[in-house]
Chains A and B, each alone.
Chain A
Amino acid sequence: AQSVAQPEDQVNVAEGNPLTVKCTYSVSGNPYLFWYVQYPNRGLQFLLKYITGDNLVKGSYGFEAEFNKSQTSFHLKKPSALVSDSALYFCASYHENNNDMRFGAGTRLTVKP
């Protein structure tokens, strides 16, 4: 069965510093990979996706993610964090063969001024 892991419950960074939120996946074949963000008392908002092609994917709000097949990772990155980036981030994978969508447990990002 496929699964997604976010090894860090919490990530703290200072404003202006680069940030990384980690995600690893366990999926046979070629997964579709997603990042979503959830602000307080809101639903999930789509940030970016990887389906095929270039391993570096650029998304909303200056975020990007790198697909690494050998390490089965899809880490979310941003060169310079903003306080407004503080939120809960979810990685997700989808496998077309079995129509299965899986979410990680979430990582709470806190950016301090």
Chain B
Amino acid sequence: DVKVTQSSRYLVKRTGEKVFLECVQDMDHENMFWYRQDPGLGLRLIYFSYDVKMKEKGDIPEGYSVSREKKERFSLILESASTNQTSMYLCASSPTTLGLVRQYFGPGTRLTVL
């Protein structure tokens, strides 16, 4: 069974802290994605990666960075957390970019920044 896991379901951090959100997939997918989900806004793409060490900015990359050192792992980094980054963060993966069929989502991390 296909699986995307995220390191934490709930996380509480303080303003200014550096925050790491980890995502691991076991499907050998090339593509991995980080979204944030906010009520009324749906899912907005922060970053995606189509290969190891490759990354592309999504719609809202400001205040975030990513790391993909291994194919199965995609990390989202909040360099200095702010209260407006309080949100639900969803990781997803998919097979090759061309002929995208569907994405597989992790359970989400609900981050609260105080």
Contacts and interface: CB of A to CB of B under 8 A. Distances in A.
B77 interface: no
A94 B96 CA distance: 14
Given A44-B90, A99-B97, A90 B43 contact: yes
Contacts of B101: 49, 51
B61 to A, nearest CB: 15
Contact of A103 (B43, B102, B107): B43
Contact of B102 (A42, A49, A90): A49
Given A9-B40, A106-B42, A43 B108 contact: yes
B42 A103 contact: yes
Interface of B: 4, 9, 33, 35, 40-45, 90, 92, 97-108, 110
Interface of A: 6, 9, 32, 34, 36, 41-46, 49, 51, 90, 92, 94, 96, 99, 101, 103-106
A42 B107 contact: yes
A105 to B, nearest CB: 4
A104 B108 contact: no
A92 B44 CA distance: 11
